């Protein structure tokens, strides 16, 4: 039986199982690539023979095949039927997995377009769609607790609008811990929505920016995780708090093997997708008053523990940075990081095809 025919015939049965496992014949254990790992190369205007810009998801899919990645997670907004068909055909030809990425509907008027995008993603072969409630960072976006409470109400409403669409389509929506929710907050929202079609994209490192212990975040969110953002993190002090940066896998502070083990314990069919963002380090101004305006429940011992972790695990050498590089050098640094992470995923994490 052809894979497409198998998926069509078994898709409804799979969708009926909460947190279903992917049949062994369709499982892909090698690590995939999140589009944000190529934030520099995506739609790049730099004329480069070695690192030509990716115009769309098809270009990224082809590149994933070339470098030996297991799949991709990419934006699915606005795909036309013929483009969806091309993605599906090439994905099936290569045996790669596909996860989508999409913004939530902010009003009821946006629901029909959201549903169209979800159905196109399903047609292309996606069984999980990652989303975020806040594109930015909590401590930079909101100036007061009231602002955050309004955001929380709106985010829950958006998820409630999205849930019937996901249920009807038979694919899962996965909310990322995106430097917006504390892990217990996000877990509470998932329980409040109470749908097998709404889960979590577990980002391995984001919540460090909110002073959360990374292993506690994993233990809290892994029971709801249906997709992942694999990354390792480097840290260093600066005068207003600490610097936080994605670094090549195995070079940072995270216990990646244990995180992978916990994720698989809760969801044996979960896929691991690399989000190695090549950029200047993020500044986490946790010693400044402005940082705390929406985090009143975070206790002093969380700050003390994080600063102790930073001082004990200072990154060896300068954290990755790109602002001083030329266009071609930035592209090369990005590609080198992705390839190094992909190699480590095979030798250090056992994520082999």
Measured distance CA(157)–CA(222) in Å, rounded:
23
pLDDT above 70 (res 250): yes
Q: Decide which of 153 and 26 is more confident.
A: 153
* Nearest 10 degrees: Cα torsion 226, 69, 254, 249: -170
pLDDT tens per residue, range 177-198: 999 999 999 999 999 999 999 9
For the chain, what are the domain ranges?
Answer: 3-232+249-282+324-347
pLDDT above 70 (res 347): yes
pLDDT at 29: 61
pLDDT above 80 (res 10): no
Question: What mean pLDDT comes out for the span 35-63?
Answer: 97
Task: Dihedral sign for Cα 78, 136, 64, 352, please.
Answer: negative
Contact 7, 44 (CB under 8 A): no
pLDDT above 70 (res 24): no
pLDDT above 90 (res 22): no
pLDDT band at 352 (very low <50, low <70, confident <90, very high): confident
pTM for this one? Answer: 0.91
Max CA distance (Å), the chain: 62
Structure tokens at 183: 């892990």
* Cβ burial 280-294 (10 Å sphere, 16+ → b, else e): ebbbbbbeeeebebb
What are the backbone angles phi and psi of residue 74, rounded to the nearest 5°?
A: -150, 155
pLDDT tens per residue, range 132-170: 999 999 999 999 999 999 999 999 999 999 999 999 999
pLDDT at 353: 66
pLDDT above 80 (res 14): no
pLDDT tens per residue, range 268-327: 999 999 999 999 999 999 999 999 999 998 999 999 999 999 999 999 999 999 999 999
Measured distance CA(185)–CA(69) in Å, rounded:
33
> Which CATH class for the 3-232+249-282+324-347 domain?
alpha beta
Which residues lie below 8 Å from residue 308, measured CB to CB, with a gap of 6+?
none
Q: Decide which of 322 and 19 is more confident.
A: 322
């Amino acid at each position: 039986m052809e894979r497409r025919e198998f998926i069509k015939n078994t898709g409804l049965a799979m969708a009926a199982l909460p947190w279903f496992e992917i049949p062994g014949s369709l499982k892909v254990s090698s690590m995939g690539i999140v589009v944000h790992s190529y934030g520099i190369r995506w739609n790049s205007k730099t004329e480069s023979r070695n690192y030509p810009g990716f115009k769309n998801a098809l270009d990224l899919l082809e590149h994933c095949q070339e470098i030996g990645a297991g799949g991709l997670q990419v934006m699915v907004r606005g795909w036309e039927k013929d483009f969806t068909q091309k993605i599906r055909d090439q994905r099936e030809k290569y045996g790669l997995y596909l996860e989508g990425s999409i913004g939530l509907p902010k009003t009821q008027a946006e629901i029909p377009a959201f549903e169209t995008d979800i159905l196109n993603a399903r047609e292309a072969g996606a069984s999980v769609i990652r989303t975020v409630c806040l594109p930015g960072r909590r401590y930079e976006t909101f100036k007061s607790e009231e602002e955050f409470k309004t955001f929380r109400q709106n985010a829950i409403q958006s998820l409630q609008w999205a849930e019937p669409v996901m249920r009807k389509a038979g694919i899962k929506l996965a909310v990322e811990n995106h430097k917006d929710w504390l892990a217990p907050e996000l877990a509470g929202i998932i329980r409040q929505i109470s749908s097998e079609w709404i889960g979590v994209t577990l980002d391995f490192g984001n919540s460090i920016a909110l002073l959360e212990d990374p292993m506690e975040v994993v233990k809290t969110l892994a029971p709801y995780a249906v997709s992942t953002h694999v990354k390792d993190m480097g840290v260093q002090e600066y005068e207003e708090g600490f610097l936080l940066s994605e670094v090549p896998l195995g070079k940072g502070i995270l216990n990646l093997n244990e995180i992978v083990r916990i994720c698989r314990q809760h969801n044996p069919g979960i896929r691991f997708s690399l989000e190695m963002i090549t950029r200047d380090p993020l500044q986490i101004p946790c010693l400044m008053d402005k940082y705390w305006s929406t985090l009143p429940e975070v206790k002093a011992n969380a700050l003390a523990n994080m600063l102790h972790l930073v001082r004990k695990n200072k990154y060896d050498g300068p954290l990755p940075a790109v602002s001083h590089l030329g266009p071609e050098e930035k592209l090369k640094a990005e590609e080198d990081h992705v390839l190094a992470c992909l190699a480590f995923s095979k030798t250090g994490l056992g994520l082999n095809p």
